[in-house]
Amino acid sequence: MEFNAAGCARPWISGLDVYEPGKMQEGYIKLASNENNYGPSPQVVETLKKESERVNVYPYRFRQTREKIAGYCGVKADNVLLGNGSDELIDMLLKTFNGPVLSFRPTFAEYRLVAGILDEEYDEINLNDDFSFPVDEFTSKAENAEILFLCSPNSPTGGVISEEDVRKVLELGKLTVVDEAYVEFYGKSVIPLLKEFPNLVVMRTFAKAFALAGLRLGYLVASQEIVELLSKVRLPFNVNSLALGAGIAAVDSVDYMKETVDRIKKDRDILFESLTGKFRAFRSEGNFVFADVSPMKAEELFDKLMEEKIIIRCFGKFDGFEGEYVRITVGTAEENRRLVEVLDGL
């Protein structure tokens, strides 16, 4: 029997691209997905072992994890919603609220991808040539949009949007999502603006500083009304019990995370200096460094590092920008030493 699956699919689905994650190969140093290569705290690992004996039971610590995260963020549990990674929160936001969506380029690809999956109108403006945020252009373009995505610190560029500029965007009164996936490496959050702006949603993840990428735990902080609306769209048990338990343990052992973040920030400076010697590197507030490696091709650098068993993220060209771009995650001190040694020898 023949079956025309594409003919049965929603009309826009066949034209979508499949998300390409950073490459991974056993035995290689992986610096492609902005994970924290120091790994989670011993307390998290211990909790995971205990929780694994109880996976016969449906996840039940949703509320407790929300409370724990609320304490970490200085808000109430009713202002916190958990997702299966922040990727799922983007999906919930776009299912719940009307578009069109506006963001900028280059930024985290998932806003555009989820909009595509839901057949939602998506538009983006280019960042400035130095990858800073063009606030005036963004606010004028935002008049035609209903959901605005701002990523700060931004991936892949590492730049941030000032609080003043975030305010200017919020003053438009549109639903504004600030993706703070890398906030722990930056140290400044816009969560305090929630008191003034009920249209603000701050989205975060345990995948980066807290080193729980494999467990898929993200959260957002917003008004109780927004959280209640999103909760209607949330699938039952969207976050598994290992992730819930690990989230609690991660916040309980927050000092461990902070120590690894401090080390990563020191190594970020070392990597930046090494890259600057050869390429055009950009100051970053995340756990990664973005660089224009032209006239070398991004792919050429990627291949050279692969030969040395180091995996980075290769972007190549961006529409509307000169250059050949890569993004390199700051790994452990030892991994960074090896990387810098290879870079210096190029």
Ligand X SMILES: Cc1ncc(COP(=O)(O)O)c(C=O)c1O
| 3-state SS class at 205 | strand
Q: Which amino acid is at 163?
A: E
Q: How many residues does this entry show for the chain? A: 346
Q: Provide the 8-state DSSP code for 103.
A: E
**Cβ atoms within 10 Å, residue 319:** 8
Task: Please give the backbone phi and psi of residue 257, each rounded to the nearest 5 degrees, phi first.
Answer: -60, -45
Regarding 184 and contact with ligand X (CB under 6 A), the answer is no
Regarding 108 and contact with ligand X (CB under 6 A), the answer is yes
Sole binder of ligand X in the list 181, 209, 227, 239 (CB under 6 A): 181
Q: In terms of CB distance, is 34 or 79 closer to ligand X?
A: 34
Q: In terms of CB distance, is 149 or 256 closer to ligand X?
A: 149
| Bond preceding residue 40 cis, omega within 30 of 0 | no
Mark the segment that binds ligand X (CB under 6 A) among 24-32, 50-58, 79-87, 312-320.
79-87
Regarding 205 and contact with ligand X (CB under 6 A), the answer is yes
Q: In terms of CB distance, is 126 or 294 closer to ligand X?
A: 126
Regarding 146 and contact with ligand X (CB under 6 A), the answer is no
Size of the site for ligand X (CB under 6 A): 13
Mark the segment that binds ligand X (CB under 6 A) among 41-49, 64-72, 81-89, 259-267.
81-89
d(CA 100, CA 110): 15
Regarding 238 and contact with ligand X (CB under 6 A), the answer is no
Regarding 36 and contact with ligand X (CB under 6 A), the answer is no
The CA-atom distances, in angstroms, between 158 and each of 36, 186, 273 are: 16, 10, 15
Mark the segment that binds ligand X (CB under 6 A) among 47-55, 84-92, 137-145, 270-278.
84-92
In the complex, residue closest to ligand X by CB: 85
Task: Please give the backbone phi and psi of residue 159, each rounded to the nearest 5 degrees, phi first.
Answer: -80, 165
d(CA 140, CA 146): 13
Residues at the contact surface with ligand X, assessed by CB under 6 A = 34, 85-87, 108, 151, 155, 179, 181, 205, 207, 213, 218
